[in-house]
Amino acid sequence: MSTIPKPFSEGEETFMLHCRAEGLAPEREVPFAAGRQWRFDFAFPANMLAVEIEGLSSGISRHATFKGYRGDCRKYAEAAILGWRVIRVTTEMVTSGEAIDYVLRALGKEPRC
């Protein structure tokens, strides 16, 4: 039996729209640590840049538990050791345009505003 993939969140879908509007094509659900199940929501592998849309803003998320938070800390520590730059944002930061501006700056491009 195949597993039905979970739908992307509002923040993830909006971020992807913002990327397309800027001519960017990030990869989605990118594994980054051999032997681990960790994935980045979005990544620009050639630039070692990742974007994580944090679910905490909805109030219903594994990120809101101590166990989830601790797991995220481990994930981001390992990402840093491997040389990744990780931009962590909330859905509100995505919808306001703040998230795409961070990404543009990290990629050496001019932000929209």
Confidence (pLDDT) at 63: 56
* C-alpha count within 13 angstroms, C-beta hemisphere, residue 47: 20
Instruction: Place 41 in a pLDDT band, splitting at 50, 70 and 90.
Output: very high
- Does 112 fall in a domain? no
* Domain extent at residue 47: 17-106
- Does 100 fall in a domain? yes
pTM, 2 dp: 0.85
Check: CB of residue 38 under 8 Å from CB of residue 30: no
Partners of 11 in the β-ladder: none
- Does 44 fall in a domain? yes
CATH of the domain at 77: 3.40.960.10
pLDDT of residue 20 exceeding 70, the answer is yes
Confidence (pLDDT) at 7: 72
Share the mean pLDDT of the chain: 89
- Does 54 fall in a domain? yes
Domains in the chain: how many in total?
Answer: 1
- Does 9 fall in a domain? no
Confidence (pLDDT) at 72: 93
Tokens of 2: 């195949």
Crossing angle (nearest 10°) for helices 98-106 and 10-21: 50
How many other C-beta atoms are found inside a 10 Å radius of the C-beta of residue 87? 16
Check: CB of residue 29 under 8 Å from CB of residue 41: yes
- Does 27 fall in a domain? yes
Tell me, rounded to whole angstroms, the distance of Cα 5 from its chain centroid: 18
- Does 3 fall in a domain? no
pLDDT digits (tens, 9 = 90+) for 69-88: 899 999 999 999 999 999 99
Q: Is 31 helix (H, G, I), strand (E, B) or coil?
A: strand
Any idea how long the chain is?
Answer: 113
pLDDT of residue 15 exceeding 70, the answer is yes
Confidence (pLDDT) at 61: 56
- Does 5 fall in a domain? no
